[in-house]
Amino acid sequence: MKKGFPNHPYIPNSVPEIEREMLDFIGLESLDDLHKNVPDALLFKGEMDIPEAFGSEYELRRHVEELFSGDGDCKKYLNFLGAGCWQHYVPAICDEINSRGEFLTAYGGEAYNELGRFQSQFEYQSMVAELVGMDVVNVPAIDWPQAAATTCAMAHRKTGRPQIVLPAILDPEKRAIIENFGRATIEFVTVDCTEDGQIDIEDLKKKVGPQTAGVYFENPNYLGVIETRGAEISRIAHEAGAESLVGVDPITLGVLATPPEYGADIVCGELQPLGIHMNYGGGLAGFMATRDEEAYVNEYPSRLFGIAPTVEPGEYGFGDVAYDRTSFGDLREGGKEYVGTQAALWGLTAGVYLATMGPVGMEEVGQTCMQNARYAVKKLNEIKGVRANSAGGLFFKEFLVDFTATGKTVSEVNDLLLSEGIFGGKDVSAEFPHLGQQALYCVTEIHTQRDIDRLANVLARILA
Amino acid sequence: MIQIGLIVNPVAGLGGSVGLKGTDGMVEEALRRGAEPLSNERATTALRGLLSLKDEAVICTGSGDLGETCARSLGFETQVLHETSGSTGAEDTRALAQKLALRGVDLILFAGGDGTAADVYEAIGEKHPVLGIPTGVKIYSPVYATTPAAAGELARLYLTGFRSELEQAEVLDIDEEQYRLGRVDVRLRGYLSVPQKNRLIQGRKAPSLLSEQAAADAIAAMVIRDMEPDVCYLIGAGTTTYRITERLGLAGTLIGVDLICNKQLIEADVYGSRILELAAGRPLKLVLTVTGGQGFLLGRGNQQLTPDVLKAVGKDNIIVIATQLKLASLGGRPLLLDTGSEETDRELSGYYKVIAGHNRYIAAKAE
Amino acid sequence: MKRIDRSKKVRTGFHQAKWDEPIIFELSTPGERGVSVPKANAAVAAAVGDGISDLPDHLKRKKRVNLPEISQNRVLRHYMRLSQMTLGADVNIEIGQGTCTMKYSPKVNEQLARLVADMHPLQDEDTVQGMLQMYYEMDLYMREISGLDKFTFQPGGGSQAIFLMASMVRGYFESIGEAEQRTEVITTLYSHPSDAAAPAVTGYDIVYVQPDPDTGLPDLEAFKAVCSEKTAAFMVANPEDTGLFNGHIKELVDYAHSVGALCCYDQANGNAVLGVARAKEAGFDMCHFNLHKTFSSPHGCSGPACGAAGVVEKLIPFLPVPSVEFDGKKYRLDCDAADEEYGVSKVRAFMGVAPVVLRAYCWIRMLGPNGLWQVTKTAVLNNNYLFKRMMSIPGISAYYEDGNNQRVEQCRYTMEQVTKDTGITSGDVQRRMMDFGMHFWTSHHPYYLPEPITLEPTESPSKKDIDEYVDTVAHIIQECYQTPDIVKTAPHRSTIHQVDERWMDDPDGWAITWKIYNRKYQ
């Protein structure tokens, strides 16, 4: 007979008297009888080797706080890491709203009793649509890589063609996710990048043809480079009958051109910079966006909330749009991919962020990122042996720093920086060996001049 | 002005209250047993659901018990398109139906049973929107709403634009003689267009199923994808199977059996020995779907697929197709085989991997 | 002054907050600002310019982005009102969202989860030893709970965990040269739709086994008829949505193994069997748990979440990376653990959703082995108590009921009789339940059972809570017979009235964003 846990604060009916009352009402002897239909062979008769429960909430708290007390974070350290998860300022209102118990613990109610959830998702959809220059945006996907994978799948289903072109410069993790997701139906082809990190147009012309469903490229790309020839890339894709698929960091779009302006058909990206804490990589949420055309809307695997009137004149509510989605072309799918719990709370947060920042705020944050990043590049280039923004092109908040000439590896440099309380940029020397000892640095609006000067001074000292 | 057609079959449902199953040919007996005609009452109940439209609607119907009495009793503006002589019958139903279709009314409501539905179908086919108000004993044809009130409600939703999709529903014929002897002998007579009854309520965590139409398209695409060259395919009756011939652009039949080879139509509406003649030594496969509410794969009503034909096909060459929704309506009960030959029934029984969608199969037992 | 009268069992006075709150764009006033943004200081600006004007024209945003301009307190008020119009689990007796396992999410876990808010996933391992230890220990706990040999927390949700399992199945068969032959995955109609949809994405054909019409369990004979050398995996939940535990599950698993297939256990409904029955004893090769269900992390309007997936030893090389290893002194991230050619390597970025994993960790630590067992026992006790009370409401019944089989975690009821008598459907009752501050779920599609109701109390409600829920259902069923109109036209005391969904499927009429709405409707 296993021991239970009477009077547990999370289990109201673990009060022995109530438990007894309920068992009697049902007509059972003991708790064991509740699983009488589980055959003996399937019953777990042992004990789980898990620590006994803490005696109090206080002890739990102490344990966890102590467990993490030795850990560093980007408040304790000066952080220059990016590469798919970035440090931006999170306005207090964002945390205030996404920790409201009503939003935090809601799930799948209807548009009546969870009107707030539907409306806040609709508003987030609407604001991101304005930001990226599209008409339709989905309820958030798990992360940008998933959104990119789905974007490729959407292009494939819409065109009926088997090939997707991916850029050579792409986060290897993202590539792995995209390729695993599309394996059953898509053939991935890689297009080269030029010295300055952008898509090699001549190579693209060779790689795009009648089998191409879409060309996927990112702006800025994984190494921070701004793609200046987006219009050309889209044109090449369109001429071959393929879709132009663009992945973006939305926090750039207060100042940078929106992808539809250079021919994008499907836009995807990462919501994390928009008011969501990094959470050790847990704060990610992907989005997809398209024009309001039936052929695109019907390809979304996710829920799409739409506004609708109610039977009461003058009142409006929400519902699911095109819930019964068919595929076009000859690929009659039995349903689009799979749908489940993803990252809706972060979508809500992104909406709060955009509403709070407003158009001026989005311009300002974009501008500050660019100014700070340029300043960092300037200061780092003053250090002997260091080449900041080694690719030489335009960048937003991330850029490569080449340490090859210093004689030290990125790993060594980062270790030394760590002992000085600084997280150096991501070591990409293993991912792109031909680039040498390079690191990907990220500078945003949260870096002050003093922060950047400190980095430069410490590096100068380390590398002297 | 909304034009609503109304056909009441005054003797439908007579038999049930006095222990007779069905009324065809039994009217005198039923009346003798003291049955009260209920159709008018049921039709009135249905029309109550449309009272909110009274000011903008006109009911086009037949005289007296054919519908006029019922419509006027509720104060609707009424137009009589067809006069009846006295004791009404199937002829009146058919004549009135034709006139209503010609008039182009927005929806034809008819109160009756399976027989009435068959009469309406005979008269106007499946081009015109109709909806059945149930009054008969047990009704098999899904062209009927579940209750008279439900019929009124659905009609209202349809006429006010809240529910605009139509679906094809089976018109099923029961041999009432057989039924009284305890045997359900269902024959598919045809299809009528009715307002979509089950609007799929949105699930939350997972996408909804495709509509029946979209699902049938997906299934048809699968069958066509897997069609082998120089193999003859018999396409059985039903809307799901009909999608196959439609997709191939062939002039097949909805309720007959069609023969296809190399994606060309060999002959439509074929029977028994003719099938074997046309197949002429080539391998023969049969595509079947489930018809009728009981889940018949092959019923006694099916005459085209004789035991000889079925023997020539063999169980392994039978491709069963059905949408998930269709199978769900059977609640997991087995598919039924009643070909008339016990031996054939035995040979064809067992499990089938029913094609239910794109790369989706459902294991179903046929017995 | 008289004593307050608490004799009413049903909350007839409830009215949900109804703010008629405009869409956020409608609150915009040019010039209002919600927050001030850091700017580059003068020295930086002097050194590098304004950062934008020297960009080529075609790279600059042409028109200022059309976002609302609202001062901070007005943004706050707007969202606070929306939150008041959202019936989260914190606010109501969460019994009505069957299969979602809407249990209490302890607030201390929320506060502790904040500890990791500002950690970057690529920080040096030395700075995240506490984090890695937490992941490591969670792996050990999940192994104990399931009996399997190693877990990953990378998937960001249950469906993604199922997708991962299907991907690992594919990888495994590729590694032994049987991938070409094994093209099918078998699942059941009462398992979650993702148990079919996710393997389909992986490229498998899906074969469903139907429920036996009498027992409601997947039919063994049917299973054997379709399980063959073409089968890659059997993917199933147990208990399924009906709440019935399939005692024959091992026979199905054994048969699948006999033809060389793998077996994957969807334990999203794991709340039913913690400490009672494990994946291991049933013979499963893989399983997954939803940390945002059984393990209490809040649902967040539908994410963020975590689908923890576990495997037996021979499948460990196919798990995604990095995994967390411990050498006795330090915790390490191992990116080389996976089979290079056939391993899945990644389904989600970085290490999955750390705060969700941390919340689950805290929850487990406050329960321990005895508490986990108590959770399951009380959840099942609650469900059976609920069941007995529900079944005594005239018109409510449950399919597959033989008087002896018990529902474990949840149950699918039917109100078919009520619908036959009154024409009122479970969808109508769902809307009327909202007038009393409650949820009420029907079922996934297709409905195998007409007019379904699926309820799951979990271990969180008290006996009184369950009574209030059942009394409310009984009250509304009575209304179906006596005052049906009020049910048909519900909701009346919610945030809005019935939505007119005509335009939801009409491409010319739908409006997925405010932008489209303004374009289409002047």
Q: Chain B to chain C, count of Cβ pairs less than 8 Å apart?
A: 92
**pLDDT tens-digit profile of A416-452?**
999 999 999 999 999 999 999 999 999 999 999 999 9
Predicted confidence (pLDDT) at residue A338 exceeds the cutoff of 90: no
Residue B214 touches chain C, beta carbons under 8 Å: no
3-state SS class at C203: coil
| pLDDT of B36 | 60
Query: Which residue from C72, C202, C462 is facing A93, i.e. has the nearest CB?
Result: C72
Residue A362 touches chain C, beta carbons under 8 Å: yes
Spell out the domain ranges in chain A.
12-63, 78-88+364-463, 92-353
Distance of residue A240 Cα from the nearest chain C Cα, in angstroms? 24
| pLDDT of C423 | 85
| Cβ within 8 Å of C, A 239-258 | 253-258
Query: Which residue from C192, C204, C213 is facing B333, i.e. has the nearest CB?
Result: C213
| Cβ within 8 Å of C, A 152-211 | 173-174, 176-177, 180-181, 183-185
Nearest alpha-carbon partner for B61 in B3, B144, B126: B3
Asked if residue A332 lies in contact with residue B223, where contact means CB atoms within 8 angstroms, the answer is no
C111-364 CATH, one of 3.40.640.10, 2.60.40.1180, 1.10.357.10, 1.10.10.60 = 3.40.640.10
> Inter-chain contact C222–B201, Cβ cutoff 8 Å?
no
| pLDDT of A376 | 98
- Determine phi and psi for A395, rounding to 5 degrees: -145, 165
Separation of alpha carbons B286 and A179, rounded Å: 40
Residues 6+ apart with CB under 8 A from A209: A163, A240
Residue C29 touches chain A, beta carbons under 8 Å: no
Separation of alpha carbons C80 and C74, rounded Å: 10
Does the CA dihedral C502-C504-C506-C512 come out positive or negative? positive
Question: Which H/E stretch holds residue B307?
Answer: helix B307-313
Chain length of chain A: 464
Residue of C nearest to A147 (CA): C348
Residue A332 touches chain B, beta carbons under 8 Å: yes
> Inter-chain contact A324–B211, Cβ cutoff 8 Å?
yes
> Inter-chain contact A326–B200, Cβ cutoff 8 Å?
no
Q: In DSSP terms, which residues pair with C85 in a beta bridge? A: none
Predicted confidence (pLDDT) at residue B206 exceeds the cutoff of 60: no
Separation of alpha carbons B127 and B102, rounded Å: 11
CATH 3.90.1150.10 intervals, chain C: 368-502
Distance of residue B205 Cα from the nearest chain A Cα, in angstroms? 6
- The pTM is what? 0.93
Predicted confidence (pLDDT) at residue A332 exceeds the cutoff of 50: no
Going by pLDDT thresholds of 50, 70 and 90, the confidence category of residue B301 is low
Q: In DSSP terms, which residues pair with C398 in a beta bridge? A: none
Reported ipTM exceeds the 0.90 cut: yes
Predicted confidence (pLDDT) at residue B200 exceeds the cutoff of 60: no
Going by pLDDT thresholds of 50, 70 and 90, the confidence category of residue B254 is confident
Residue of B nearest to C452 (CA): B201
Residue of B nearest to A303 (CA): B207
> Inter-chain contact B207–C200, Cβ cutoff 8 Å?
no
Asked if residue C34 lies in contact with residue A358, where contact means CB atoms within 8 angstroms, the answer is yes
Separation of alpha carbons C491 and C498, rounded Å: 7
Residue C368 touches chain A, beta carbons under 8 Å: yes
Name which CATH class applies to C368-502.
alpha beta
Separation of alpha carbons C320 and B276, rounded Å: 57
Question: Which H/E stretch holds residue B114?
Answer: helix B114-124
Distance of residue B44 Cα from the nearest chain C Cα, in angstroms? 17
Who wins on pLDDT, A265 or A310?
Answer: A265
Residue that is written with structure tokens 């019936």 in the block? C87
| pLDDT of B25 | 62
> Inter-chain contact C423–B333, Cβ cutoff 8 Å?
no
Nearest alpha-carbon partner for C458 in A340, A13, A54, A103: A13
Distance of residue C489 Cα from the nearest chain B Cα, in angstroms? 13
Residue C301 touches chain B, beta carbons under 8 Å: no
> Inter-chain contact A319–B357, Cβ cutoff 8 Å?
no
Q: What is the DSSP letter of C400?
A: T
Segment A367-396 mean pLDDT: 96
Residue B50 CA: distances (Å) to CA of B41, B45, B46, B108: 15, 10, 8, 13
Residue A446 touches chain C, beta carbons under 8 Å: yes
| pLDDT of B178 | 66
Question: Which H/E stretch holds residue A422?
Answer: strand A422-423
Cis peptide before C446 (omega within 30 of 0): yes
Residue of B nearest to C488 (CA): B153
Query: Which residue from B162, B331, B350 is facing C502, i.e. has the nearest CB?
Result: B162
Q: In DSSP terms, which residues pair with B261 in a beta bridge? A: B232, B264
Going by pLDDT thresholds of 50, 70 and 90, the confidence category of residue B341 is confident
Could you please report the per-residue DSSP string of C93-124?
-TTSSTTS------HHHHHHHGGGTT--TTS-
| Equal CATH topology for A78-88+364-463 and A92-353 | no
| pLDDT of B18 | 54
Residues from chain B that touch C303, judged by Cβ atoms under 8 A, are none
Predicted confidence (pLDDT) at residue A401 exceeds the cutoff of 60: yes
Residues 6+ apart with CB under 8 A from B108: B5, B6, B7, B97, B100, B101, B120, B124, B128, B129, B130, B131
CATH 3.40.640.10 intervals, chain C: 111-364
By a Cβ cutoff of 8 Å, what residues of chain B touch chain A?
A: 200, 202, 204-211, 214-215, 217-218, 221-222, 357-360
Predicted confidence (pLDDT) at residue B202 exceeds the cutoff of 50: no
Distance of residue A159 Cα from the nearest chain C Cα, in angstroms? 18
Predicted confidence (pLDDT) at residue B201 exceeds the cutoff of 70: no
| pLDDT of B167 | 84
Beta strands in C215-351 (DSSP E): 231-237, 262-266, 286-290, 307-311, 323-326, 331-334
Chains in contact with C, where contact means 3 or more Cβ–Cβ distances below 8 Å, are A, B
| pLDDT of B196 | 80
Could you please report the per-residue DSSP string of A151-219?
HHHHHHHHH---EEEEESSS-HHHHHHHHHHHTTT-EEEEE-B-TTSSB-HHHHHHH-STTEEEEEEEE
Residue C510 touches chain A, beta carbons under 8 Å: yes
| pLDDT of B207 | 44
- Determine phi and psi for A262, rounding to 5 degrees: -115, 35
Nearest alpha-carbon partner for B199 in C421, C504, C453: C504
Beta strands in chain B (DSSP E): 2-8, 57-62, 77-82, 107-112, 130-134, 166-174, 186-195, 232-235, 258-261, 264-267, 284-289, 296-298, 318-321, 336-337, 350-357, 360-366
Predicted confidence (pLDDT) at residue B209 exceeds the cutoff of 60: no
Other Cβ atoms closer than 10 A to B55: 10
Asked if residue A103 lies in contact with residue A117, where contact means CB atoms within 8 angstroms, the answer is yes
Burial of A49 (0-12, 13-18, 19+ CB in 10 A): exposed
| pLDDT of C3 | 93
Nearest alpha-carbon partner for C272 in C461, C460, C458, C462: C458
Q: Are strands A316-320 and A187-191 parallel, antiparallel or unpaired?
A: unpaired
Segment B46-75 mean pLDDT: 92
- Determine phi and psi for A400, rounding to 5 degrees: -85, 145
Residue B351 touches chain C, beta carbons under 8 Å: yes
| pLDDT of B204 | 37
| pLDDT of C255 | 98
Sheet hosting strand B2-8, strand order edge to edge: B77-82, B57-62, B2-8, B107-112, B130-134
Distance of residue B330 Cα from the nearest chain A Cα, in angstroms? 21
A23-30 contacts at long range (C-beta below 8 A, 24 or more positions apart): A23/C381, A25/C385, A25/C388, A26/C381, A26/C384, A26/C385, A26/C388, A28/C384, A30/A1
> Inter-chain contact B210–A323, Cβ cutoff 8 Å?
no
| Per-residue pLDDT tens digits of chain C, which is 522 residues long | 999 988 888 999 999 999 999 999 999 999 999 999 999 999 999 999 999 999 999 999 999 999 999 999 999 999 999 999 999 999 999 999 998 999 999 999 999 999 999 999 999 999 999 999 999 999 999 999 999 999 999 999 999 999 999 999 999 999 999 999 999 999 998 898 899 999 999 999 999 999 998 898 998 999 999 999 999 999 999 999 888 999 999 999 999 999 999 999 999 989 999 999 999 999 999 999 999 999 999 999 998 999 999 999 999 999 999 999 999 999 999 998 888 899 998 999 999 999 999 999 999 999 999 999 999 999 999 999 999 999 999 999 998 888 777 888 899 999 999 998 898 999 999 999 999 999 999 887 777 788 999 999 999 999 999 999 999 999 999 999 999 999 999 999 999 988 888 778 788 889 999 999 999 988
- Determine phi and psi for B306, rounding to 5 degrees: -75, 165
Residues from chain A that touch C165, judged by Cβ atoms under 8 A, are none
3-state SS class at C34: coil
Distance of residue C183 Cα from the nearest chain A Cα, in angstroms? 11
Asked if residue A440 lies in contact with residue A82, where contact means CB atoms within 8 angstroms, the answer is yes
Residue A337 touches chain B, beta carbons under 8 Å: no
Predicted confidence (pLDDT) at residue A330 exceeds the cutoff of 50: no
- Determine phi and psi for A436, rounding to 5 degrees: 90, -155
- Domain A92-353: give its CATH code: 3.40.640.10
- Amino acid in position B94: R
**pLDDT tens-digit profile of B121-174?**
999 988 899 999 988 566 778 898 878 888 998 999 899 887 677 888 888 877
| Structure-token pair, residue B56 | 């903008």
Residue that is written with structure tokens 């280039």 in the block? A381
Residue of A311, A332, A333 to mutate for B, most B C-beta atoms under 10 A: A332
Q: What is the DSSP letter of C434?
A: G
Query: Which residue from B146, B329, B361 is facing C206, i.e. has the nearest CB?
Result: B361
Asked if residue C123 lies in contact with residue A424, where contact means CB atoms within 8 angstroms, the answer is no
Percent of the residues in chain B that have a pLDDT greater than 90, as a whole number: 44
Residues from chain A that touch B215, judged by Cβ atoms under 8 A, are 334
Question: Which H/E stretch holds residue A137?
Answer: strand A136-137
**pLDDT tens-digit profile of B78-88?**
999 998 866 65
Which residue stretches of C344-394 are H helix? 354-391
Nearest alpha-carbon partner for A221 in A192, A243, A242, A255: A192
> Inter-chain contact C193–B351, Cβ cutoff 8 Å?
no
Distance of residue C229 Cα from the nearest chain B Cα, in angstroms? 15
Distance of residue B30 Cα from the nearest chain A Cα, in angstroms? 46
Query: Which residue from A64, A110, A375 is facing C112, i.e. has the nearest CB?
Result: A64
> Inter-chain contact A345–C303, Cβ cutoff 8 Å?
yes
Predicted confidence (pLDDT) at residue B193 exceeds the cutoff of 80: yes
Distance of residue C167 Cα from the nearest chain B Cα, in angstroms? 17
Residues 6+ apart with CB under 8 A from C328: none
Separation of alpha carbons A242 and A164, rounded Å: 9
Other Cβ atoms closer than 10 A to C326: 14
Residue that is written with structure tokens 């994008």 in the block? A264
Task: Return the CATH fold of A78-88+364-463.
Answer: Aspartate Aminotransferase, domain 1 (3.90.1150)
Encode burial over A256-278: b for 16+ CB neighbours within 10 A, e otherwise: bbbbbbbbbbbbbbbbbbbbbbb
Residues from chain B that touch C412, judged by Cβ atoms under 8 A, are none
